[in-house]
Amino acid sequence: MKKFFTLFFAVALFAISASATVTINVRTTTGDAPFLYVWDGAGTALNGEWPGTLMDATHVYTTVDGKVWFTQTFEEDAINIIFNDGGIDGVEPFVQTADIRGVTGTAFFVFDIEEGEYEDVTSTYITDTGFDVNTLPNTVVYVEGKEFAYFVAPISWTKCNVWAWNGITSTNFTQSGIWPGDPITLIGNTTDGNPVYQWIGPDIVEGDSPTGIIFNNGSTQTSDLDYVAGGVYNLAGKLLYTVPNSGGGGIELLEPVITDNYIKFEGIKSDGNYRFILDTYEWEKDHGPQFQLKIEPIDPSKPAYFSQSDLSDPNYWEPMFMAVTQQMAGEAMTAQDNIKRLYLGDVQLLPNQFIDYNNLHKVGFNLKKDYTLPDGCLLNAGQHMDEMDVKCEGTMTLSPNSLPADKMFYVTVYTQPVYDVWNNYKQSYNCQYILNMEGNAPAITAVKVTSKVDNDVFTEQLPATGFDDVIIEAPINYFYLNRFEVDVNVDVDEIFMDYAIYKEGEANDGWLSIHATKTDDGKWVAENINLDVLQGLEVGQKYILSFDFISGYLDEVGDRLRYDNGGHLYHVKFVCGENAAVPGDVNGDGTVTAADVTALYDYLLNNDESHLVNGDQTGDGQITAADITAVYTIMLGS
């Protein structure tokens, strides 16, 4: 049991942190105030040099249980103390207690000031630990089939080891078998900032579980603690909480809602403290419902988590969705192939839980506590990903290989610490996502776009938020992007539009850029773009034009700022018509020849419109000599 280390390391207490407090309450057998001498693990006196400070002279009285106590509070994680009588004129002989080491929290003592004896009566006045389980991060979960425990460490700790044994069978439960034991994993912090460590040991063997456990950081340690599976301990050796077994009940599926235009399935896992809602957020007659999945805690103040057994529960959304679709459509379909949006609250996921959900377009995080995204969780989810919206009030941790690296999408965060976490991950894994922090003044403040659709010219001021997808129902034969104009509120190096044109329901093949030029009045303008949106598209097929506007202004870590539309790309959905215009084809015969130049001359010189179908080749909304030049350019280029 390494008793030697228990005694040896107990003299080296940890460094002091100003974020925790220790309150000493003491009364004496005579009613006289004692002297209190206090020091830390480094030997530094915290309450004056020996013999300390007379508590009656400078400190408060507390009345507990009808008795008067001398009270003093220290802003420390833990302290060592000695009560004494101050000696005679501050010199020996003293009446004093032995060293009282590793005092944490609120403690009560009775000091026999005549004999030098003391009694720790804390348990009489604090009948429980007073620990609030709601302060734990939601990564504190039940681990099935394993020996496991948690340790709430002092704020000053930067590492933690575990030593676990069975005193009857002499089994050692560490991999190393060598003191100070195995390093264990930091999984988050309490709401007060204390690091929380997790130990996951070997598989449970009936009749041979640990009987004792010690947590240490190599120099400071707990006493020999009685091991309780799932126990949450602190340095004072208190069992603060025991994580309940979540296997006591399955997922309860509520009555589904199925109407002509809405579907909703809701499941509740009481032991895991979570609910999921799988419902439709849109209904398009040609495509059927679009599904979204929301996962949130039932009681937000308590830990919520999935267990491995949940994945095989018949009411878990995957098997449930297959059963329902088999019954309704005669074909079993998977939820992972149909869910387009995923919204995550403070519920701890399992490794790889969404690794194959490659049809996701959006993931939203709404987190109030510390949160860890586990290994592999969204690793392959980038095929169709447009955006991730990340709100986290606590500390966020991204495990290795938890996010897609090779796809471009937008990530919007709202605080600098979360930004730093996502940016560090991006740099470490060479990710392609574009990171933006909401709330910073954007470099781009306004965008105006001019386009021509069939015979109509549109100039639109694009809103920064609230932009709905534009859906053009009728097939179109002419779709040109002609011009855009951008206002900025800071000096920037460049402005460009990223765009992609792709079939609806399929991934885009990549992004292209159109760069603007800075004008004398400080605006950035791209003139005469003449982008033929319909070029090369299949007649009768549905397409999406996605676009966004990005500045070349670099922030501290090198990410560009964008006109973010609240975190969304701009989308225009349309059908390619049968008579989609060929660039340069003024007369509409499907070819570009001298006849097209003649048609323009006839119009400009004689006002003859008889052969004019697509005269505005520059897309500026008018027909001028510039259109003749555009046709000549196309003819020479071809």
26-30, 138-142, 519-523, 525-529: range with lowest mean pLDDT: 138-142
Residue 148 tokens read as 């496991």
User: What's residue 3's pLDDT?
Assistant: 25
User: What's residue 105's pLDDT?
Assistant: 81
Let me know whether 269 and 402 are in one domain: yes
User: What's residue 560's pLDDT?
Assistant: 53
> Mean pLDDT throughout 284-313?
79
pLDDT in tens, 155-182: 889 999 999 999 888 999 999 999 999 9
Give, in order, the Cα–Cα distances in Å from 331 to each of 199, 321, 505: 44, 11, 20
Q: Is residue 68 part of a domain?
A: yes
59-63, 319-323, 372-376: range with lowest mean pLDDT: 59-63
pLDDT in tens, 500-541: 898 887 766 777 889 999 888 888 999 888 788 888 888 889
Let me know whether 174 and 192 are in one domain: yes
> Mean pLDDT throughout 26-45?
88
The CATH number for 160's domain is 2.60.40
* 326 vs 346: which has the higher pLDDT: 346
User: What's residue 302's pLDDT?
Assistant: 81
User: What's residue 107's pLDDT?
Assistant: 85
User: What's residue 136's pLDDT?
Assistant: 79
Confidence of residue 314 (pLDDT cuts 50, 70, 90): confident
Let me know whether 281 and 416 are in one domain: yes
> Is the pLDDT reported for residue 37 higher than 90?
yes
Let me know whether 269 and 371 are in one domain: yes
Let me know whether 354 and 471 are in one domain: no
> Is the pLDDT reported for residue 281 higher than 90?
no
User: What's residue 134's pLDDT?
Assistant: 65
* 469 vs 189: which has the higher pLDDT: 189
Answer with the one of 387, 403, 437 that is the final residue of a domain: 437
User: What's residue 48's pLDDT?
Assistant: 92
> Is the pLDDT reported for residue 64 higher than 70?
no
Nearest by Cα to 83 from 61, 54, 104:
54
Name the percent of the chain lying above pLDDT 90: 21
Let me know whether 20 and 53 are in one domain: yes
User: What's residue 468's pLDDT?
Assistant: 60
How far apart CA 580 and CA 586 sit, in angstroms, is: 12
Q: Could you list the residue range(s) of the whole structural domain that residue 629 is in? A: 594-637
Let me know whether 297 and 223 are in one domain: no
> Mean pLDDT throughout 483-496?
81
Q: Is residue 589 part of a domain?
A: no
* 283 vs 584: which has the higher pLDDT: 584
Q: Is the dihedral of CA 326, 330, 334, 339 positive or negative?
A: negative
Let me know whether 281 and 235 are in one domain: no
Residue 350 tokens read as 């399992």
User: What's residue 442's pLDDT?
Assistant: 53
The CATH number for 507's domain is 2.60.40.10
> Is the pLDDT reported for residue 606 higher than 70?
yes
Let me know whether 469 and 517 are in one domain: yes
Let me know whether 431 and 301 are in one domain: yes
User: What's residue 217's pLDDT?
Assistant: 93
> Is the pLDDT reported for residue 68 higher than 60?
yes
Q: What is the dihedral of CA 47, 48, 49, 52, to 10 degrees?
A: -60
Burial 431-440 (b: 16+ CB within 10 A, else e): bebbbbbbee
Let me know whether 203 and 263 are in one domain: no
Pairing verdict, β 105-112 and 100-103: unpaired
> Mean pLDDT throughout 15-24?
57
Phi, psi angle pair for 275, to nearest 5°: -130, 150
Looking at the structure of the chain, the number of domains it has is 5
pTM: 0.43
Answer with the one of 437, 453, 479 that is the final residue of a domain: 437
How far apart CA 108 and CA 123 sit, in angstroms, is: 8
User: What's residue 174's pLDDT?
Assistant: 93
pLDDT in tens, 184-231: 999 888 888 889 999 999 988 888 889 999 999 998 899 889 898 889
Contact 74, 21 (CB under 8 A): yes
Q: Is residue 266 part of a domain?
A: yes
How far apart CA 492 and CA 425 sit, in angstroms, is: 26
pLDDT in tens, 549-597: 877 654 444 445 555 544 456 788 999 887 666 777 887 777 788 888 8
User: What's residue 171's pLDDT?
Assistant: 92
Contact 231, 239 (CB under 8 A): yes
User: What's residue 4's pLDDT?
Assistant: 22
User: What's residue 557's pLDDT?
Assistant: 41
Contact 443, 490 (CB under 8 A): yes
User: What's residue 32's pLDDT?
Assistant: 85
* 300 vs 342: which has the higher pLDDT: 342
Answer with the one of 98, 125, 152 that is the final residue of a domain: 125
Confidence of residue 127 (pLDDT cuts 50, 70, 90): very low
- E strands in 581-628: none
User: What's residue 148's pLDDT?
Assistant: 93
pLDDT in tens, 219-275: 889 988 989 888 999 988 888 888 766 555 688 888 888 887 788 899 999 878 899
Q: Is residue 495 part of a domain?
A: yes
21-30, 53-62, 523-532: range with lowest mean pLDDT: 53-62
Contact 13, 41 (CB under 8 A): yes
> Mean pLDDT throughout 279-284?
69
Let me know whether 234 and 171 are in one domain: yes
Q: Is residue 584 part of a domain?
A: no
Q: Is residue 587 part of a domain?
A: no
141-155, 274-288, 446-460, 503-517: range with lowest mean pLDDT: 274-288
User: What's residue 464's pLDDT?
Assistant: 60
**DSSP string of 193-207?**
--EEEEEEEEE--TT
Confidence of residue 1 (pLDDT cuts 50, 70, 90): very low
User: What's residue 294's pLDDT?
Assistant: 95
Q: Is residue 106 part of a domain?
A: yes
User: What's residue 154's pLDDT?
Assistant: 92
Contact 477, 578 (CB under 8 A): yes
